[in-house]
Amino acid sequence: MSSSEENSRTKHESVTTPHWKAPLEPVPLLAHYRRMPTTSTDLMEEIRALKKARNAVILAHNYQIAAIQEVADFVGDSLGLSRQAAATGADVIAFCGVHFMGETAKILNPLKTVVIPDLEAGCSLSDSCPAPKLEAFLHEHHGKNYYVIAYINCSAGVKALADVIVTSGNAARIVEAAPADRNILFVPDQNLGAWVTEQTGRKMDLWQGHCYVHVEFTRESIHRIKAGHPEAVVVAHPECTLAVRLLADEVCSTEKMVTFCKDHAAQTFIIVTESGMLHRLEREIPGKTFIPGPTDHCACADCRYMKMNTLEKLRDCLANLEPRIEIPEDVRRPAERSVRRMLELSA
């Protein structure tokens, strides 16, 4: 890597510093905890005790394993989680999701400690748009005077380069509010971007990124499951390809899936998104049946990053206050501007 590439990476990619000196002392009971039996119930008790000792809040995405969803204070989609992160009075945020979600919490809370269970829990979609590459693209196409709209599944460095952030829950509304006289560059998800254009009629240039999980659903795999359950209503996430979205009765964010299935008269739903969503739906709508959308290779789709988080790692990150998210201020400040603009536009 050239030194200019290195500099630009340092400037735009967030930095995690595992050896950062903790403002709060680690709870000295960790050794004792490690000797205890590690059933889920015991671990949950340890986590609740640590949470109290730390004055921490546990935020979990809808794709987390069932046990993490059960122990969390709030389970939701990226928009709901951002709102919770913006409003919390806790000293510590333990974010159970993927790296960019922990970063978003830190962007909004520079003075709080933000920990995540596993630093390696990334996101293929976020990785498809590195900040230095976006910066170079914007430089190369400066004549386009792009208004950059970034899906929240991106790094803090990309958020810092964006004018506004969107989630799948508010994207159409925010794109409609974009200046009419500007060209829009939508990053990094081409499928979500195309879905927003279908809804709003607003033309956008799309970064060619995708989520490796959602593009695994195919027209054939969804046709097959529909044929086996002709009465079922199909609900898909907008990160799916057009061929799959066309087979869905509803395309929406993970949070909207809960209200949609609750309010709908149907009893059976095929859920075309990551498998963790099934737990949230079954828990909140016990009388109905949810069938995971299959891919061509498996009966339901797991995000390998989301599934890196375990109760043990959550317990350890609360006990050790590591790994932590840290973001240099020259990246965090502009990133906060674009995240706050999103929160204002979707209030």
Give the interface with ligand 13P as residue ranges (CB under 6 A).
62, 77-78, 153, 167-168, 211, 237, 239, 253-254
Q: Which stretch binds ligand SF4 (CB under 6 A): 10-18, 206-214, 243-251, 315-323?
A: 206-214
Do the Cβ atoms of 172 and 195 come closer than 8 Å? no
| CB of residue 197 to ligand 13P, shortest distance in Å | 18
The answer to whether residues 274 and 123 touch, using CB atoms and an 8 Å cutoff, is no
When binding is defined by CB under 6 A, the residue of 85, 90, 96, 125 that contacts ligand SF4 is 125
Instruction: Give the C-alpha separation, 69 to 23, whole Å.
Output: 28
Q: How far is the CB of 302 from ligand SF4 (least distance, A)?
A: 9
Do 289 and 69 contact (CB within 8 A), yes or no? no
Q: Which residues fall within 8 angstroms of residue 196, CB to CB, at 6 or more apart?
A: 166, 171, 172, 175, 186, 202, 204, 238
**By CB under 6 A, residue 124 contacts ligand SF4:** yes
CA distance 62 to 68: 10
Least separation, in Å, of the C-beta of 98 and ligand 13P? 7
Q: How far is the CB of 278 from ligand SF4 (least distance, A)?
A: 14
Binding partner of 167, given ligand 13P, ligand SF4, none, CB within 5-8 angstroms per partner class: ligand 13P
Which residue is it, tokens 């005790």?
49
Using the minimum distance from each CB to ligand SF4, give the nearer residue, 46 or 239: 239
Choosing from 113, 270, 305, 318, the residue that interacts with ligand SF4 (CB under 6 A) is 305
Interface with ligand SF4 in residues 27-86 (CB under 6 A): none
- Tell the residue number behind the tokens 């159409």, with chain if given: 172
Helix or strand (DSSP H, E) at 76:
strand 74-76
User: Taking CB within 5 to 8 Å according to partner kind, which of ligand SF4, ligand 13P, none is near residue 305?
Assistant: ligand SF4
Nearer to ligand SF4, 109 or 153 (CB): 153
Can you give the C-alpha Rg of the chain in angstroms?
20
Give whichever of 155 and 167 is closer to ligand 13P, judged by the CB atom. Answer: 167
Q: In whole angstroms, what is the distance from residue 60 CA to residue 69 CA?
A: 6
Out of 211, 222, 234, 236, point to the residue binding ligand SF4 (CB under 6 A).
211
Q: Which two tokens stand for residue 292?
A: 């995971």
* 117 within 8 A of 102, measured Cβ to Cβ: no
Q: Which does 212 bind (CB under 5 to 8 A by kind): ligand 13P, ligand SF4, none?
A: ligand SF4
Site track 263-282 with ligand SF4 (rule: CB under 6 A), x = hit: -----------x--------
From the list ligand 13P, ligand SF4, none, partner contacted by residue 254 (C-beta under 5 to 8 A by kind)? ligand 13P
Q: What phi and psi, each to the nearest 5 degrees, are found at residue 123?
A: -160, 125
Of residues 182, 137, 140, the one with CA closest to residue 164: 182
Residues in Cβ contact with 58 at an 8 Å cutoff, skipping those fewer than 6 apart: 47, 51, 71, 72, 73, 74, 94, 96, 314
Q: How far is the CB of 130 from ligand 13P (least distance, A)?
A: 18
Q: Contact residues for ligand SF4 (CB under 6 A)? A: 98, 123-125, 153, 211-213, 239, 274, 303, 305-306
